[in-house]
Amino acid sequence: MTHIFPPSQGFGRSMDGQNSTEEVYFILLGLSQHSRAQIACFCLLLMSYVVTLLGNSLILLLIYHDPQLHIPMYFFLSNLSLDMCYTTSSVPQILINCLVTTPVISLGQCMAQMATGLYLDVVEHLLLAAMAYDHCVAIGDPLCYSMHMGPLLCGLLTGTSWTAAFLLTVVPVLTMPLEFCGHHVIKHFSCEFLALFRLACSDLQFYESLMLGTSALTLLAPFAFIVASYGKILVAVLRMRSTEGQGKVFSTCGSHLVVVALFYGTAISMYMMPQDKTTHDSDKIISMLYRILTPMTNPLIYSCGTRT
C-alpha cells in the first residue's frame, strides 16, 4: 500500500514510519491503447496549445501597452489570460506522453500537477464571477461605474480570487492524506483529481462529500452569482430605449456568456455529477475540452468585447 502524506511528513513514507528510498511512479494511460487516436490527439493538442499561448500572450501585451485598455474590464481579462498557465501545467507533458510507449509520472510531480491545475481552475471560476459583476455595474449604473469599480476594488476582487483559490485547493490537496493500493495506473492523460481519486483505497464516502462541498463552493456559488448578475443586466437592457445601446450590451456580454456556458457546463459535468469507479473515454474527452478550449476562448472575449 502506498501512502500520500502532507509535505511535513514527506511523500512516499512507508506504513511503519521509515522513509522509503524508492520513488513511487504512476503510469498515465491516456490513449496509449489507440495509437492512431494518440497521433491525432498530439496534433490537435499541439495546435490548440500554440493558439492558446499566442492568443493570450497577445491579449496581455495589448492591454499592457495600450493605456485606453487600462480599465476594469480588461484588468480582469488580463488576469483571466494568465490562466493559460492552467493549460501549461499539464499539456506539455501530455504532448510528450503521446510520443512514448509507457508514459510515467512520479508521485511528487503528480501531486504538484494536480494542485496547480485545481488552483488555476478555481481562480478562473472566481474571475469569471468578478467579470460578471463588472459588467453588471457598468450596464446597470453607468454614471457611478468609475466610482464603484476603482483600482482598489478591482485589486481586492482579483487578490481575493487568487488567495481564496489557493486556500480552497492547494492547502487541502497538500495536507489531506490519501491511501493508494493496487496498481498505479491512472486511466487519464494527466494527474486529474478524479482519476487519481479512483485509485484511493481509503474511505471514499468522506472524500466524495468533501469534493462535493468544495465543488459547490467554487462552482455553484460563482455560477449562481453570474446568473444573478446577468439577470440584473437583462432587466437593465429591457429598460433601454436605444437599439444601439442594446446591441452594445450584447456585444460586450455575449462572448463572456459563451465562455461561462462552456466553462461551467464542462466543469459541472466533471465534478458535480455522480461518479463511478472507472474512467471512461468520454471523461477524458470532456477533461481535455475543459483544459484546452476554455483558455482558447479568452482571445474571443477580447476581439468580440466592446468597452462599456
> What gap in Å lies between CA 300 and CA 304, rounded to an integer?
6
**What pLDDT is stored for residue 35 in this prediction?**
66
- C-alpha cell read off for 192: 486529474
Sheet holding 104-106, edge to edge: 104-106, 25-28, 185-186
Find out whether 190 and 94 touch, Cβ atoms under 8 Å. yes
What is each CA distance from 215 to 8, 25, 48, 89, 267, in whole angstroms? 26, 28, 27, 21, 9
- Mean pLDDT (the chain) is 76
Amino acid at 3: H
**What pLDDT is stored for residue 178 in this prediction?**
67
> What gap in Å lies between CA 254 and CA 155, rounded to an integer?
25
**What pLDDT is stored for residue 307 in this prediction?**
46
Segment 128-187, tens digit of pLDDT: 899 899 988 888 888 888 888 889 999 999 999 999 999 888 887 777 766 777 677 887
pTM over the 0.75 mark: yes
**What pLDDT is stored for residue 34 in this prediction?**
63
Find out whether 196 and 174 touch, Cβ atoms under 8 Å. no
Q: Which of 290, 299, 63, 294 is nearest to 189 (CA)?
A: 290
**What pLDDT is stored for residue 74 in this prediction?**
84
Tens of pLDDT along the chain (308 residues) come to 444 434 333 344 334 344 444 567 788 877 656 667 777 878 888 888 888 888 888 888 888 888 888 888 888 888 888 777 888 888 888 888 888 777 888 878 888 888 888 898 889 889 989 989 998 888 888 888 888 888 999 999 999 999 999 988 888 777 776 677 767 788 777 887 777 777 777 665 666 677 777 778 888 889 999 999 989 888 888 887 777 777 777 777 777 787 788 777 777 766 665 555 555 556 666 677 777 777 777 776 656 654 44
Strand, helix or coil for residue 296: helix
